């Protein structure tokens, strides 16, 4: 007899708040109102833990994008935001942070059912991260300032010269699906503090938390048109945003391929561009480490968020003397990282965001095997009722020519290699077109500093990985990006400098 039993990998029931939100009609957020699209095109929203469609969102038309940009343009040009006392901007942004905190549990659930990540991870990382982006940047509202400067070639007292910092204008902000709300807040916070207005486009796979944020934007008291939220596909709505003549700046996080395309498209009107792109970040483990610490560290570097992290430690270089021990230690973390549905309170790793991404990750594993790599952990998908799960995977016997070593997989897959000395591993770590992050594990301070200096990447971590803080600049060397976000550099990216010289 065939008895239907719930699979261990079945998604749990949603809360009433989530169900109510999911029952809303597809709408865009323009001028502080939820409005219909100019056409009927919509995109399915899936829960990656079940593969089921749970709602639909608007696939914005060119006319929708034009309407949103026009709203942002008007709101910028009449100074309804940039002209406010900086203290009011600071307090409004902080009010949004307060509201987000008050609704943290609901946002964590929505993120979990939209992205597939464990609700516990969203509650511990994504939501507080989004709040801290808003709070830290809010404080810059009143603290950006120009300088009074004595000219070099002009006699003293004959001119008065100073610089002022002005908001760059209307910003098009396009974010990916791996940390949807966190990325959205990371983008809007500095723009708002600087006095810019904006159109935000979340990824078509994960637009729910941005749409829910729109409610809080109205409640926080932002003037209409300052923040507009458009949902839709990248090659249509995103492309229109990037090419729109009334947009002054484009900020993008996503794939290197699309980042390069956006940079080219923004050139026509020389828009300001910041890009946070892909990575293939090395994790280097020196022979002196305590393997009991380094092994879970290296595992977390790749398995956190199912490897869907731009700085995922996807290339592991372990010194020959600790290689075997380290791999045993990583394999021992398998039960902890075993994929589970996102609303399972035991989950540390959830589902992959989409079927497309799930198949891409499994395709890389197959390509690795065909090229001669061996699987020492995972390497497959657990059987499930339609969820997009991939088991945490370690590949060995790899070489630098293989696609699994060269390309960003964006899944829970790490390639592990042995090395013998520092120069050799520095060279291997830098043998990539990317340069986003790198992890070094050692107790030797001078080794740490020597290697940190040799590695070409925007961030280097010592005895930890993927630690990101809103006060610390973040960005890529080489093909991992353009410019920096967060910290002082983050607000500067939304400011122009005007020099004023007055003859006295």
Q: Does 254 bind ligand NAI (CB under 6 A)?
A: yes
Q: In angstroms, rounded to a whole number, what is the distance separating the alpha carbons of residues 155 and 79?
A: 37
Q: Does 204 bind ligand NAI (CB under 6 A)?
A: yes
**Strand 374-377, strand 393-396: pairing:** antiparallel
Q: In angstroms, rounded to a whole number, what is the distance separating the alpha carbons of residues 470 and 128?
A: 11
Q: Does 412 bind ligand NAI (CB under 6 A)?
A: no
Q: Does 351 bind ligand NAI (CB under 6 A)?
A: no
Residue (51 or 146) nearer to ligand NAI, CB: 51
Phi, psi (rounded to 5 degrees) for 121:
-70, -45
Q: Residue 113 is encoded by which pair of tokens?
A: 């059912």
Stretch that binds ligand NAI, among 73-81, 230-238, 292-300, 367-375 (CB under 6 A): 230-238
Q: Does 358 bind ligand NAI (CB under 6 A)?
A: no
Q: In angstroms, rounded to a whole number, what is the distance separating the alpha carbons of residues 117 and 410?
A: 14
Residue (107 or 179) nearer to ligand NAI, CB: 179
Q: Does 355 bind ligand NAI (CB under 6 A)?
A: no
Is residue 17 within 8 Å of residue 106, measured between CB atoms?
yes
Contacts with 282 (C-beta within 8 Å, 6 or more apart), sequence order:
313, 315, 316, 317, 428, 429, 432, 438, 439, 455
The least distance separating ligand NAI from the CB of residue 278, rounded to whole angstroms, comes to 5
The least distance separating ligand NAI from the CB of residue 236, rounded to whole angstroms, comes to 8
Q: Does 307 bind ligand NAI (CB under 6 A)?
A: no
- Among 7, 94, 161, 255, the residue binding ligand NAI under the rule CB under 6 A is 255
Q: In angstroms, rounded to a whole number, what is the distance separating the alpha carbons of residues 428 and 25?
A: 51
Residue (67 or 95) nearer to ligand NAI, CB: 67
The β-bridge partners of 33 are: 30
3-state SS assignment for residue 88: helix
Cα–Cα–Cα angle for 212, 213, 219, nearest 5°?
105
Q: Does 238 bind ligand NAI (CB under 6 A)?
A: yes
- Among 70, 203, 247, 455, the residue binding ligand NAI under the rule CB under 6 A is 203
Stretch that binds ligand NAI, among 192-200, 227-235, 383-391, 482-490 (CB under 6 A): 227-235
- Among 17, 35, 104, 261, the residue binding ligand NAI under the rule CB under 6 A is 261
CA distances in angstroms from 416 to 11, 87, 280, 399, listed in the order given: 33, 51, 13, 10
Q: In angstroms, rounded to a whole number, what is the distance separating the alpha carbons of residues 431 and 192?
A: 38
Helix orientation angle between 422-429 and 445-454, rounded to the nearest 10 degrees = 40
Q: In angstroms, rounded to a whole number, what is the distance separating the alpha carbons of residues 224 and 136?
A: 23
The β-bridge partners of 159 are: 503
Share of the chain residues as helix, strand and coil, in percent rounded to the nearest 5: 40, 20, 40
Stretch that binds ligand NAI, among 39-47, 212-220, 255-263, 332-340 (CB under 6 A): 255-263
Stretch that binds ligand NAI, among 235-243, 333-341, 342-350, 413-421 (CB under 6 A): 235-243
The least distance separating ligand NAI from the CB of residue 128, rounded to whole angstroms, comes to 19
The reply to whether 276 belongs to the active site is yes
Q: Does 463 bind ligand NAI (CB under 6 A)?
A: no
Catalytic residue among 46, 111, 204, 276: 276
What is the SS3 string spanning 20-70? HHHCCCCCEEECCEEECCCCCCEEEEEECCCCEEEEEEECCCHHHHHHHHH
Q: Does 278 bind ligand NAI (CB under 6 A)?
A: yes
The reply to whether 479 belongs to the active site is no
Taking CB under 6 A as the rule, which mask of x and - marks residues 51-90 in contact with ligand NAI?
A: ----------------------------------------
Catalytic residue among 204, 310, 408, 485: 310
Q: Does 201 bind ligand NAI (CB under 6 A)?
A: yes
What is the SS3 string spanning 119-157? HHHHHHHHHHHHHHHHHHHHHHHHCCCCCECCCCCCCCC
Q: Does 310 bind ligand NAI (CB under 6 A)?
A: yes
- Among 253, 281, 305, 442, the residue binding ligand NAI under the rule CB under 6 A is 253
Q: Does 239 bind ligand NAI (CB under 6 A)?
A: yes
Q: Does 234 bind ligand NAI (CB under 6 A)?
A: yes
Residue (273 or 316) nearer to ligand NAI, CB: 273
Helix orientation angle between 208-220 and 180-194, rounded to the nearest 10 degrees = 40
The least distance separating ligand NAI from the CB of residue 269, rounded to whole angstroms, comes to 15
DSSP 320: T
The least distance separating ligand NAI from the CB of residue 252, rounded to whole angstroms, comes to 6
Q: Does 266 bind ligand NAI (CB under 6 A)?
A: no
Place of tokens 């020597």: 450
- Judged by CB under 6 A, the chain residues 89 through 108 that form the site for ligand NAI are none
Residue (140 or 410) nearer to ligand NAI, CB: 410
Residue nearest to ligand NAI (CB): 234
Q: Does 437 bind ligand NAI (CB under 6 A)?
A: no
Is residue 254 within 8 Å of residue 408, measured between CB atoms?
no
Which residues have a catalytic role annotated? Answer: 276, 310
Which residues contact ligand NAI (rule: CB under 6 A)?
A: 174-178, 201, 203-204, 233-235, 238-239, 242, 253-255, 258, 261-262, 277-278, 310, 357, 360, 408, 410
């Amino acid at each position: 007899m065939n008895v239907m039993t719930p699979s261990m990998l079945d998604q749990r029931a949603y809360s009433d708040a989530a169900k109510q939100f999911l029952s809303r009609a597809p709408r865009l957020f323009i001028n502080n109102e939820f409005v219909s699209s100019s056409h009927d095109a919509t995109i399915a929203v899936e829960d990656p833990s079940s593969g089921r469609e749970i709602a639909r969102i608007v696939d914005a038309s060119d006319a929708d994008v034009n309407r949103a940009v026009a709203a942002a343009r008007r709101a910028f040009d009449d100074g309804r935001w940039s002209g406010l006392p900086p203290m009011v901007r600071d307090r409004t942004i902080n009010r949004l942070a307060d509201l987000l905190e008050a609704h943290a549990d609901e946002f964590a659930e929505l993120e979990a059912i939209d992205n597939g990540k464990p609700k516990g991870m969203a509650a511990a990382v994504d939501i507080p991260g989004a709040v801290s982006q808003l709070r830290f940047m809010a404080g810059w509202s009143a603290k950006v300032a120009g300088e009074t400067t004595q000219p070099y070639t002009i006699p003293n007292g004959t001119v008065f010269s100073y610089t002022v910092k002005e908001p760059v204008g209307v910003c098009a902000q396009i974010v990916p699906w791996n940390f949807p709300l966190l990325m959205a807040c990371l983008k809007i916070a500095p723009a708002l503090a600087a006095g810019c207005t904006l159109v935000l486009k979340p990824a078509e796979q994960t637009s729910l938390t941005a749409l829910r944020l729109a409610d809080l934007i109205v409640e926080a008291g932002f003037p209409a048109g300052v923040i507009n939220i458009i949902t839709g596909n990248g090659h249509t709505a995103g492309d229109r945003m990037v090419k729109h003549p009334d947009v002054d700046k484009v900020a993008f996080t996503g794939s290197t391929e699309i980042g390069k395309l956006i940079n080219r498209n923004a050139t026509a009107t020389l828009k300001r561009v910041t890009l946070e792109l892909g990575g293939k970040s090395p994790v280097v483990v020196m022979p002196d480490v305590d393997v009991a610490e380094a092994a879970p560290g290296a595992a977390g570097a790749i398995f956190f968020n199912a490897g869907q992290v731009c700085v995922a430690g996807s290339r592991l270089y372990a010194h020959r003397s600790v290689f075997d021990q380290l791999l045993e230690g990583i394999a021992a973390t398998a039960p902890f990282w075993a994929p589970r549905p996102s609303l399972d309170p035991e989950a540390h790793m959830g589902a992959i965001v989409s079927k497309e991404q799930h198949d891409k990750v499994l395709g890389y594993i197959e390509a690795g095997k065909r090229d001669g790599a061996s699987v020492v952990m995972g390497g497959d998908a657990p059987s499930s009722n339609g969820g997009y799960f991939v088991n945490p995977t370690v590949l060995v016997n790899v070489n630098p020519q293989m696609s699994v070593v060269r390309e960003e997989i964006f899944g829970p897959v790490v390639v592990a290699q042995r090395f013998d000395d520092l120069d050799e591993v520095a060279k291997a770590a830098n043998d990539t077109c990317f340069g986003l992050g790198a992890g070094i594990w050692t107790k030797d301070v001078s080794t740490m500093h020597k290697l940190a200096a040799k590695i070409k990447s925007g961030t280097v971590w010592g005895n930890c990985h993927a630690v990101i803080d809103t006060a610390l600049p973040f960005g890529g060397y080489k093909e991992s990006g353009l410019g920096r976000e967060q910290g002082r550099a983050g607000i500067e990216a939304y400011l122009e400098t005007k020099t004023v010289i007055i003859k006295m």
